[in-house]
Amino acid sequence: MAEYKKPTSEKEFQKNFKQKKPLMNATEAYYEASRCLFCYDAPCIQACPTHIDIPLFIKQIHTDNVTGSAKTIFDANWIGNACGVVCPTGVLCEGACVYNHQDVPPIQIGRLQNYATNTTIEAQKDIFKIGKSNGKKIAIIGAGPAGIACACEARTLGYEVDIFEAKDKPSGLTVHGIAPYKITNEEVLKEIKYLQDQLKFDIKYNSAITSKEQLQKIEKEYDAIFLGVGLGKTATLSLEGEDKKGVVGAVEFIEELRMKHHKTNVPKKVVVIGGGNTAMDAASEAARMGARKTVLAYRRSKEEMGAYGFEYDLAISAGVDSLFNATPIAIVGNGKVEGVKFAKTEIIEGKLQTNMNNVFIVRCDMVIKATGQAKQGSFYQLIDDLEIDTKTRIVVNEETFQTSNKKYFAGGDAINGGAEVVNAAYDGKMAAQGINQWLLK
Amino acid sequence: MIDLSVNFAGIKAPNPFWLASAPPTNSGYQIMKAFEAGWGGAVWKTLGVPVVNVSSRYGSVNYRNTRMMGFNNIELITDRPLADNLREIEEVKKYFPDHAVIASLMVESKKEWHQIIKDVENAGADGIELNFGCPHGMCERGMGSAVGQEPEVLKTIVEWVKEAATIPVITKLSPNISHIVDPGLAAVQGGTDSISLINTIKSIVGIDLDSYAPYPIVDGKSTNGGYCGPAVKPIAMNMLKDLAQHPEISKVPISGIGGIETWRDVVEFILLGATSVQVCTAVMHYGFGIVREMETGLRQFMEEKNYKTIYDFAGKALPNITEWKHLNLKHKVVAEINADKCIGCDLCYIACDDGAHQAISLPKEAENRIPSIIEENCVGCNLCALVCPVEDCITMVKKDDGTEHITWHERTMNNDVPTTFDDDRAGGKGHFVPKPTDALK
Ligand SMILES: Cc1cc2nc3c(=O)[nH]c(=O)nc-3n(C[C@H](O)[C@H](O)[C@H](O)COP(=O)(O)OP(=O)(O)OC[C@H]3O[C@@H](n4cnc5c(N)ncnc54)[C@H](O)[C@@H]3O)c2cc1C
Ligand SMILES: Cc1cc2nc3c(=O)[nH]c(=O)nc-3n(C[C@H](O)[C@H](O)[C@H](O)COP(=O)(O)O)c2cc1C
Ligand code: SF4
Ligand code: SF4
Ligand code: SF4
């Protein structure tokens, strides 16, 4: 039973994808800020991957120094505005807020953060300073959160920066992947423009770096290179019938949804395969696009899902049904998908076993595979001496983010295998400092 | 049966909750509405030669999430013709013969005083209050606090009034003086039947950071205002205590004013010797309805303590207020933290370490943020218990067995007090203090 009517206009789309963390108004921000205790050595700061001085920026909101508050935020996190609404705050800063120990709702740190930065961006306040030019140049591959953060930090340190981006928009998965009810495209792009207007770095769009020659040219022209390439397309499942029409990867589905909104085609019955946050998002999104039946299928139990509990709850509240302990064995249909054949699974001696005696078909018109993104392995092979771990993640020095090829630095999903925007923002910033240390020593 | 009625220097009222002379008592309409709501008396907005007021009259101090914790105004006495006020006094008395209607007066010459007293008596007022308190505007014209600050002048005017008045006279004092007993005694010697205090305190509540003018701004300029509201309550209570403990002054009843908003405030003023209370700011903030909370709270308190009338406990705190030199130097309390309630904000730690006596330590393991008290360093100052945001989490526990008692006064008598700069008897001698350089670690 779908709770959402199929959106036929942008207005209906926005209604179905209503923002989960709407912008606070000044009064709400003032009162919420007043609750913060200004804890000593505050645990929320430790829980934020970028270590924003949270009690300080909240006090600045409360004392009507919103610009100063935004400065505090951006000083630690160049993607501070988006992070305020896309971060899983319940497991980060807000999860660490001392109020939780009292069963009192924690401070809404994310929304306050978004309020301060959004207000400052809207007012077009100039708050950043480009560093005195040191004559050196940095190339950045990928304009996702990691790349943008690296660019901003590098500009404040006096570097010339050029970003090479495969797509026609900046900000990577923040604009192409994150669920539309967390942040709008405009909000994402507005922040990048604000940063770019002040820090003046160049982004070359539609400029995928795919060959050794391109890399050699970059290596020659630039003093250091930062890799913020993220992950690749949805990995294949090697399932019988996977090539049928109507079988799509989650990342590709979500990207289309983010770009085309209500014009994205979502049929009546959808099966989503996977148990991570991306699967939860894709299922929620299919339901909000008016699918009458959306089934979320995961091969293990609910408890074993990688997704956050709140993301699962959100999908269920959107009208998604779940199917646990069932693994897909084939996609059925005549040319186009008509259903997914599942086999029940069970754990025998600690191992997941498929029970081929318990097989059934779930009818559907669309299958969304949310079983992980492929890594950029073939791209990494183009770079000499670049060390990659067994999970195809680039290996970096934890403090400087330098790779085994000294000229290259890396951060974001490319080194952690897929985490959050806030991690990418942290990595990019620290990598710029790592580059600075390396070049100036 | 609890009886809340009062007989204040001959002015009878069904309860001690009176409206202070201020905007809420500007008209018969407001006073009738207040009596309907449950107020027992009202002191009419000060009558005299009507004034002309400015537009933009109030300013306030907001603290954290509390608006108007302090309030100031630059309004003068009534701007309505005397005849209109007199007619309305008569009408109010017709409808509410048992409620107290007191006319506040402020004029200059003896002739004017005699005339206006006759007028308000004819209108049916139950008493007269002399406004010797207004600290802005009126004082520039030799009235209000200009009188309250000159005990001799005050006494003369009280004598003029007493020559003419046949109804009880209340003298309202200004707090803008260093020794409140001087005008208090002058009023009693002049023959006043009772005293009320405090009027407002000279103040500047804030400055606009664009126009550089203090609030409230009148066409780019302002003047000092009169401060009132919850912020002034402690000052008012101390002055009330000074009068109520004075052997001469305490012979007349005192009406307590200044920051009263709740039943608790009312009880505290009564415990300090007030036998009626007057309220302005709380009504200007919340309307007449707040009297419901005051009355039910007062009744509940009296029921629990088994008091029949407010006279049963009026002044009961006075014997417990003594001079510092008579306090027991052997009394010893030490802070104790309830680890089950503690939420780990560590405000107590930083307050004690930076602002008090370095008597709280943090746990070694970073995970657990629950601090502990270093008992031998704790001087029992209460600071940690005051900053702790959790109810009853830090308690101050009595450690002396109550058998010893020695005061500064007694020690002085025994020649056992420090007398030289490096006297061995210094209270803090031998008390732990960290090495100055420990701060740099
Ligand atoms: C479905 C989904 C939902 C998510 N939801 C959230 C969420 O709610 N909250 C949250 O914090 N995080 C979320 N994330 C994770 C988050 O989006 C990523 O962790 C973050 O975007 C990683 O940033 P990045 O800069 O490392 O990589 P990306 O954002 O992937 O950016 C990489 C950029 O590099 C470009 N690029 C790649 N290869 C090349 C090349 N060879 N040449 C030139 N350009 C190239 C890409 O086009 C892209 O723009 C989600 C991710 C997904 C997939
Ligand atoms: C515990 C305490 C002790 C104080 N001791 C002194 C003192 O020794 N000398 C002094 O000039 N003022 C002393 N003061 C007054 C303060 O310096 C200051 O004038 C007053 O607290 C008002 O400022 P505030 O509102 O910021 O607290 C003391 C204040 C406090 C709270
Ligand atoms: S833990 Fe909560 S209350 Fe304490 S500083 Fe952080 S946000 Fe404020
Ligand atoms: S009572 Fe004062 S000295 Fe003792 S622990 Fe608390 S703050 Fe420190
Ligand atoms: S102030 Fe109270 S809640 Fe905070 S750490 Fe100290 S004892 Fe715990």
Q: Do B345 and A30 touch (CB under 8 A)?
A: no
In 3-state terms chain B splits into helix, strand, coil percentages (rounded to 5) of 35, 20, 45
Indicate if the pLDDT at residue A137 is higher than 80. Answer: yes
Task: Kindly state whether A37 is in contact with chain B, defined as any CB-CB distance less than 8 angstroms.
Answer: yes
Interface of B with A in 357-376 (CB under 8 A): 369
Q: Which region, left, alpha or beta, applies to residue B306 given φ > 0 means left and ψ of -120 to 50 means alpha?
A: left
pLDDT category, A350, cuts 50, 70, 90? confident
- In B, minimum Cα distance to A61 occurs at B64
Which residues share a beta bridge with B18? B41, B278
Catalytic residue among B134, B280, B342, B348: B134
Buried b (16+ CB within 10 A) or exposed e, B291-316: beebbebbeebbeeeebeebeeebbe
Sign of the four-CA dihedral B339, B342, B347, B348? negative
Query: Residue of the nearest CA to atom 2 in ligand 5?
Result: B388
Query: Using a CB-CB distance cutoff of 8 angstroms, which residues of chain A are in contact with residue B344?
Result: 39, 43, 98, 101
Q: Which of residues 378-407 of B touch A (CB under 8 A)?
A: 389-390
Residues of chain A in contact with residue B350, where contact means CB-CB under 8 angstroms, are 40
Closest by CA position to B39, among listed B2, B57, B13: B13
- Give the residue, out of A21, A141, A178, with the most ligand 1 atoms within 8 A of its beta carbon, to mutate for a pocket test: A178
Question: CA–CA separation, A17 vs A266, rounded Å?
Answer: 15
Consecutive H or E run containing B58: strand B58-63
Residues having CB within 6 Å of any atom of ligand 4: B 335, 352, 356-357, 359-360, 373, 378-384
Per residue in B184-213, pLDDT tens? 999 999 999 999 999 999 999 999 999 999
Question: What average pLDDT does range B109-116 have in this prediction?
Answer: 96
pLDDT at B133: 86
B134 counts as catalytic:
yes
The shortest C-alpha distance from A62 to chain B (Å) reads 8
**Atom of ligand 4 at shortest distance to CA of B373?**
5
Say yes or no: B346 contacts chain A, CB-CB below 8 A.
yes
Inter-chain touch A102–B349, beta carbons under 8 Å: no
The whole-number pLDDT of residue B141 equals 85
Give all strands (DSSP E) within A120-266, no chain letters. Answer: 137-141, 160-164, 202-204, 224-227, 247-249
For residues B99 and B75, what is the distance between their CA atoms, to the nearest angstrom?
27
Q: Does A26 lie at the interface with B, CB-CB under 8 angstroms?
A: no
CA nearest neighbour of A246 among A370, A341, A333, A372: A333
Question: Tens digits of per-residue pLDDT, B3-44?
Answer: 999 999 999 999 999 999 999 999 999 999 999 999 999 999
Which candidate, B15, B6, B56, places its Cα nearest to that of B35?
Answer: B15
Q: Is A385 helix (H, G, I), strand (E, B) or coil?
A: coil
Only one residue has tokens 């959790």, namely B390
If you measure CA to CA, which chain B residue comes closest to A98? B343
A74 C-beta closer than 6 A to ligand 1? no
**pLDDT greater than 80 at residue B366:** no
For residue B390, list chain A residues with Cβ-Cβ distance below 8 A: 102
Alpha-carbon distance of B229 to B68, in angstroms, equals 7
- How far apart (Å, rounded) are the C-alpha atoms in residues A413 and A435? 19
Q: With the C-alpha atoms ordered A398, A400, A403, A409, is the resulting torsion angle positive or negative?
A: positive
Residues of A in contact with B389 (CB under 8 A): 37
For residue A12, pLDDT over 50 is answered with yes
Burial grade of A331 (CB within 10 A; 0-12, 13-18, 19 or more): buried
| Residue keyed to tokens 């897909």 | A328
Q: Tell me if A366 CB under 6 Å of ligand 1.
A: no
At B143 the pLDDT is 86
Q: Which ligand lies nearest the alpha carbon of B339?
A: 5
Angle between helices B82-95 and B28-37 (to 10 degrees): 30
Q: Which two tokens stand for residue A98?
A: 């001392």
Nearest-Cα distance to chain B for A70, in Å, is 20
Dist. CA B363–CA B370, nearest whole Å: 7
Query: Distance (Å, rounded) from C-alpha B222 to C-alpha B220?
Result: 7
Q: Are A329 and A302 in contact (CB under 8 A)?
A: no
Ligand nearest to the CA of B383: 4
CB contact under 8 A, A37 and B347: yes
Calculate what percentage of chain A has a pLDDT beyond 90.
97
Question: By the 8 A CB rule, do B206 and B213 touch?
Answer: no
Q: Pairing relation of β-strands B201-203 and B225-228?
A: antiparallel
> Which residues from B are below 8 Å from A64, CB to CB?
none
A411 CA: nearest ligand 1 atom = 26
Choose among B64, B343, B346: nearest Cβ to A101: B343
Q: What is the pLDDT of residue B140?
A: 85
pLDDT of residue A1: 44
Whether A31 and B65 lie within 8 Å, measured CB to CB:
yes
Q: Does A65 touch chain B (CB under 8 A)?
A: no
Q: Which candidate from B342, B345, B349 shows the least CB-CB separation from A37?
A: B345
Tell me the two tokens of residue B61: 């101090």
Contact present, B59 and B72 (Cβ < 8 Å) = yes
Q: Which residues pair with B7 in a beta bridge?
A: B12
CA–CA gap between residue B69 and residue B71 (Å, rounded): 7
Are the C-beta atoms of B131 and B155 separated by less than 8 Å?
A: no
Q: What is the CA radius of gyration of chain A?
A: 23
* Ligand 1 pocket residue status of A413, Cβ below 6 Å: yes
The angle formed by the CA atoms of residues A435, A205 and A231, to the nearest 5 degrees, is 65
**Index of the ligand 3 atom closest to the CA of residue B345:** 4
- Which domains does chain A show, CATH number per domain? 10-122 (1.10.1060.10), 137-232+375-439 (3.50.50.60), 247-369 (3.50.50.60)
Q: What tokens were used for A37? A: 């205790």
The pair phi, psi for residue A250, each rounded to 5°, is: -65, -45
In this prediction, residues B142-155 reach a mean pLDDT of: 90
With 70 as the cut, is the pLDDT of residue B107 above it? Answer: yes
Q: Do the Cβ atoms of B370 and B337 come closer than 8 Å?
A: yes
Cβ contact B65–A41 (<8 Å): no
What token pair was written down for B36? 């309907």
- Residue B407 pLDDT greater than 80, yes or no: yes
H-state helical runs in B15-133: 28-37, 82-95, 110-123
Separation between Cα atoms, residue A152 and residue A429, nearest integer Å: 8
The tokens describing B352, both together, are: 């004690």
Q: Do B346 and A30 touch (CB under 8 A)?
A: no
Render pLDDT for A239-257 as a digit per residue (tens, 0 to 9).
999 999 999 999 999 999 9
Task: Look over chain A and give the mean of its residue pLDDT values, rounded to a whole number.
Answer: 96
* pLDDT tier, A17 (very low <50, low <70, confident <90, very high otherwise): very high
Inter-residue contact B201 to B228 (CB < 8 Å): yes
pLDDT in tens, A255-290: 999 999 999 999 999 999 999 999 999 999 999 999
Chain A residues within an 8 Å CB radius of B347:
37-40
In three-state secondary structure terms, B85 is: helix
Whole-prediction pTM value? 0.89
Q: Which residues contact A339 (CB under 8 A, 6 or more apart)?
A: A331, A332, A333, A361, A362, A363, A364
In the predicted structure, residue A130 carries a pLDDT above the cut 70: yes
Contact between residue B70 and residue B232 where contact means Cβ atoms under 8 Å apart? yes
Report the separation in Å between the CA atom of A42 and the middle of ligand 5, taken as the mean of its atom positions: 12
Burial of A161 (0-12, 13-18, 19+ CB in 10 A): buried
Minimum distance, in Å, between the CA of residue B70 and any CA atom of chain A: 17
Q: Are residues B337 and B361 in contact, defined by beta-carbon separation less than 8 angstroms?
A: no
Q: Does the pLDDT at position B413 exceed 50?
A: yes
Residue B71 pLDDT greater than 50, yes or no: yes
- Rounded CA gap, A37 and B406, in Å? 40
Indicate which residue's Cα is closest to atom 1 of ligand 3: A97
**Among B103, B48, B57, which Cα is nearest to B79's?**
B48
The whole-number pLDDT of residue B137 equals 82
**Distance to chain A for B232, nearest Cα, Å:** 22
Q: How many CB contacts within 8 angstroms connect chain A with chain B?
A: 32
* In the predicted structure, residue A171 carries a pLDDT above the cut 70: yes
Query: Given CB atoms, is A105 within the 8 Å cutoff of chain B?
Result: no
* Residue of A94, A107, A109 best suited for mutating to test ligand 3, as the one with most atoms within 8 Å of CB: A107
Looking at CA atoms only, how far is residue A29 from chain B in angstroms?
11
Alpha helices by DSSP H, B165-208: 181-189
Measuring CA to CA, how many Å separate A395 from each of A138, A401, A415? 20, 9, 6
Asked if the Cβ–Cβ distance from B346 to A31 is below 8 Å, we say no
Q: Which of B32, B13, B22, B2 is nearest to B253 (CA)?
A: B13
DSSP state of A246: T
Report residue A441's pLDDT band, with 50, 70 and 90 as the boundaries: confident
Residue of A nearest to B368 (CA): A43
Residue minimizing CA distance to atom 7 of ligand 5: B342
- Give yes or no for a cis peptide into B216 (omega within 30° of 0): yes
Provide the pLDDT confidence category of residue B105 given band limits of 50, 70 and 90. Answer: very high
**Dihedral sign, CA of B321, B327, B332, B335?**
positive
CB of A145 shorter than 6 A to ligand 1: yes
CB A295 within 8 A of CB A270: yes
User: Looking at the predicted structure, is the pLDDT value of residue B364 above 90?
Assistant: no
A226 and A258 Cβ atoms separated by less than 8 Å: no
Q: Go through the domains of chain B in sequence order and give each one's CATH number.
A: 6-318 (3.20.20.70), 324-440 (3.30.70.20)
| Predicted local confidence at residue B423, as pLDDT | 95
> Cα separations (Å) of B1 from A226, A315, A332, B302?
83, 61, 85, 10
- Identify the residue whose C-alpha is closest to ligand 1 atom 53: A177
Report chain A residues whose CB lies below 8 A from the CB of B346: 39-41
Helix (H, G, I), strand (E, B) or coil at B271: helix
